[in-house]
Amino acid sequence: MSDLATEARSDREGPEAERAKRRRPFWVELPMLAGIALVLAFLIKTFLLQAFLIPSGSMQNTLQVDDRVLVDKLTPWFGSEPDRGEVVVFRDPGGWLAGRPVKEPTTVQKALGFVGLMPAAGEQHLIKRVIGVAGDTVECKGEGPLKVNGKPLTEPYVFPGNTACSTDPEGQFKVTVPSGSLWLMGDHRQASQDSRYHRSDARGGMVPVTDVVGRAVVIAWPVTHWSTLPVPDTFDQPGLTPAP
């Protein structure tokens, strides 16, 4: 009886023991798991979310130097375009970053940035707030307020101590945004080289919608700065949208 029980137990354990023998050791599986993680990180960075590092104070106090923001890259795939009040990351439309030193990233930083495991390093990107979209007339006189289609904006996000409009020649303007373009300004009005200061270029300071990488939706790091980046209520006021 004992021999029969032993034989039956051996028959049951045989396949399991064989599978255990065929199971890969962890050190063999580790590179494969790491490869899968890198592919997933790359896909997330390319199609869903990408982290960006804030290099300057042009968006204070909304964003601080060295904050990390997460940028929504999925919505544009469905045809959505930037709207007034959104904070967007965009590629340099031509000469905006000329003369500004860009720290050369290390090989490791380049690799990790490429797959999305750390903020993109050394890339020519900027971050500003959308003030005007196609068809809008944006105007600054004196110290403000800033007006869109004749409607004055209440801007609690403007850096404390700043005026809504700068009184230098570049800060006094009235422009109409053409189709396919945006008028962008920093929240630190007296410390932002934005659309106002590039009106002499070929696009008159406008930024093509096609240069926008995506909308910044949340401050992810440091944790003490964690916050979402909603559209301020001032952009929802009645009559802001111009008549066709």
Contact 89, 55 (CB under 8 A): no
Contact 231, 242 (CB under 8 A): no
Residue 130: strand pairing partners: 184
Distance (Å, rounded) from C-alpha 36 to C-alpha 81? 32
**3-state DSSP call for residue 236?**
helix
Q: Considering the candidates 58, 166, 192, 195, report the single residue annotated as catalytic.
A: 58
Distance (Å, rounded) from C-alpha 128 to C-alpha 151? 21
In sequence order, which residues have a C-beta less than 8 Å from that of residue 229 and are 6 or more positions away? 62, 69, 86, 87, 215, 216, 217, 218, 219
Q: Considering the candidates 73, 128, 166, 195, report the single residue annotated as catalytic.
A: 128
Distance (Å, rounded) from C-alpha 167 to C-alpha 114? 41
Residue 58 among the catalytic residues: yes
Contact 122, 142 (CB under 8 A): no
Contact 69, 229 (CB under 8 A): yes
Catalytically active residues, by annotation:
58, 128
